[in-house]
Structure 1
Amino acid sequence: MQELDLQLARKTLEAQPFSRLVQARITAFGDGRAVLEVDSRTELHQQNGFLHGGVLAYAADNAITFAAGTTLGAAVLTGGFSISYVRPAVGRTLAARAQVMHTGRRQATVRCDLYVVGEDGEEALCAIAQGTVLSAAPSS
């Protein structure tokens, strides 16, 4: 299995066309954790000026899957996830912080807390997600 590190995670994210479109970046990766960030900009807002819920869902999904990859290996797929929106996402940067809560042989359960970081650096929780990630590696 190829060694998984922050540099490989960044290359993998860069290979995703949608991730390039939203200009996402991975700022932490390893030991059952991953942090994905997206800067807020008008194109990512909904009609009331908040980050669109789809952007939050994208960030949760990807952070969850990257975190699981640190325990299951690089070949992983999202099995499913749920998200609860806590408050409108208004700020300069969205930070999706995922942590593996349990890993089995072929599946991981991951929690992701999504924060919006304001201009003053203050953080506000805007959503909570939980997902199941499956190993896509062939069984031996």
Structure 2
Amino acid sequence: MDNFTHILKLSVGTEAVEDLAAWQASARARGADGLPRHVTRMWPKREAEILGGGSLYWVIKGVILCRQRILRLDEVTGSDGIRRCAFVLDPNLIRTNPATKRPFQGWRYLAPADAPADLSAKRAQDDALPPELAGALADIGVL
């Protein structure tokens, strides 16, 4: 049994993996260390499991399309004085086999057994399918 877990998160307003990459390249999405981060209100209770090898899997338009290794969790305090959690991420976006996912709010834990596999090195260089098409093909078992 794996001793780590992943995080599943919707990438709201993103149309494709390239949009997520562009957002993360902006100064707004990076910390002082230059690494991309995603800030959330809730601190994960399973922190040790996440930091033991977990990734943040991104859902884009209803389909899991990529992941990023979670390097650490940083505490950040907003201008409102509220403590938040920043998932500090490896800048490398790793494409995964498409897997459909219903909408949800916030983030969810994702067991390693339920995480889609990474695309093979050969397939990772293919042109990306639109998320809707990738999701439809995944639903019928073609991808």
TM norm structure 2: 0.30
Structure with greater helix share of residues: 1
TM norm structure 1: 0.31
Structure with more relative contact order (C-alpha pairs < 8 Å, separation 6 or more): 2
